């Protein structure tokens, strides 16, 4: 995986306006969250990540005592504080994180490279929702961003 990336980097360096990080990222890895959460051989396997890798990441996610989402930062931090026996001091910032839908042409060209990550994100959102059922104080901080948007 590294040799094609080095070649691409040399080509892109000679091309004005080339987007090196995004092209390199898509060349080296797909479904990066799945790779990170499963770890081991799944993290290092060639593209594409297998369904077994996705299932491994989903099982791993369920073992976490606390799952938070960036787009639900205030509710997630509130849950973390409560799990540590702390009470939130002052107001947590519950402003909306600005997200943008994925452009259709990008989705068409690269959607398969993060489809399993979207499934993992949706599972994390369900896990967070279950945690928030037991914490009305934190649940009221929920912003609610539709999964699959950025």
In the chain, the percentage of residues whose pLDDT exceeds 70 is 67
Mean pLDDT of the chain: 76
**What integer pLDDT is reported at residue 31 of this predicted model?**
83
Predicted pLDDT at 11: 55
pLDDT for 89-105, tens place per residue? 766 666 656 666 777 77
Determine the Cα–Cα distance for residues 22 and 8; give it in Å rounded to an integer. Answer: 12
pLDDT at position 101, please?
A: 72
Classify burial at 34, counting beta carbons within 10 Å of its beta carbon; exposed 0-12, middle 13-18, buried 19 or more. Answer: buried
pLDDT band with cut points at 50, 70 and 90 for residue 146: very low
User: Tens digit of pLDDT for each residue in 33-65?
Assistant: 888 888 888 877 777 888 898 999 999 999 999
pLDDT digits (tens, 9 = 90+) for 122-143: 999 999 999 999 999 899 888 7
Global pTM value: 0.69
Q: How confident is the model at residue 14 (pLDDT cuts 50, 70, 90)?
A: very low
R_g (Cα) of the chain, nearest Å: 18
Residue 114: which residues within 8 A CB-CB, separation 6 or more? 30, 31, 32
Residue 99, pLDDT score: 63
Angstrom distance (rounded) from CA 63 to CA 127: 10
């Amino acid at each position: 995986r590294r040799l094609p990336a080095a070649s691409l980097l040399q080509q892109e360096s000679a091309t004005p306006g080339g987007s090196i990080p995004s092209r390199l990222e898509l060349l080296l890895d797909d479904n990066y969250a799945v790779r990170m959460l499963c770890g081991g051989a799944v993290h290092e396997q060639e593209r594409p990540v297998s369904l077994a890798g996705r299932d491994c990441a989903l099982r791993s996610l369920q073992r976490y005592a606390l799952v938070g989402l960036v787009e639900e930062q205030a509710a997630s931090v509130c849950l973390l504080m409560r799990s540590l026996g702390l009470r939130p001091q002052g107001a947590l910032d519950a402003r909306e994180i600005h997200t943008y839908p994925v452009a259709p042409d990008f989705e068409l060209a690269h959607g398969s490279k993060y489809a399993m990550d979207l499934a993992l994100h949706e599972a994390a959102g369900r896990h967070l929702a279950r945690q928030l059922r037991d914490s009305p104080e934190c649940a009221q901080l929920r912003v609610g961003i539709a999964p699959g948007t950025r």
